[in-house]
A and B are shown apart, each in its own frame.
Chain A
Amino acid sequence: MKKEDIPQDYGSLSKCTKEVCYAVDDTGKYVTELSTGWEVKATALSVAWKDIEERVAAAKQKVLNNEASPILYFMELRLMDVAIVSAYTGFWKWRISQHLSPEGFRKLPEKKLRKYAEAFNVSVEDLKTMHVHEE
């Protein structure tokens, strides 16, 4: 890539910093240059976020249909999978899959609900009602 071809498109990262790119100058020597972003990768990121939003919406609907517990909703909302939920709560993965069902969730004692609420960074009440106060 030539220095003058470094894209200077909008990227979400440019809210916080420009990033270093490597490219060659007129003499063929490598130099670094700051870039605000590249549309190709900005779109890749927005494609990923669109997918996440769809997953969150689908999870919410499943909970409303009584096909899943709110843990599914918060797991998707917090970009987690069962392995990450397990790492944050200390529960076994097969336990979590039980809690993902509405029946399993209803049987959860307060103490375990608190573990989940903590992992998802919400209150127990909000965990039960799928309420989200965004920070």
Chain B
Amino acid sequence: MKKIEAIIKPFKLDDVKDGLSALGIKGLTVTEVKGFGRQRGHREVYRGAEYQVDFVSKIKIEVIMDEGMVAEAVESIQEKARTGEIGDGKIFILPVEEAIRIRTGETGKEAI
């Protein structure tokens, strides 16, 4: 099992979600996050006061899946989240040791 974490632009969430659903992925976790990478925040001066935004608003999605799905899922996320400009985000793939569905106690593949 693997976990895919992707940081994407907020307005791309629906596209990415639809792409993953089309692959048969049934669940994902979405979080509103802030951060910075190569994309800089922005600074505004209005009536003499300065408004600096250091952290850019992004969406983080987390999906757990069977190893066999990973390549396809990553490809889909990359395709859907891309605008070609800075700040399109990143995708991380992490190993997952075990998954348990709390209600039934099912483990492993059954639980995701």
Are A and B a genuine interacting pair, yes or no? no
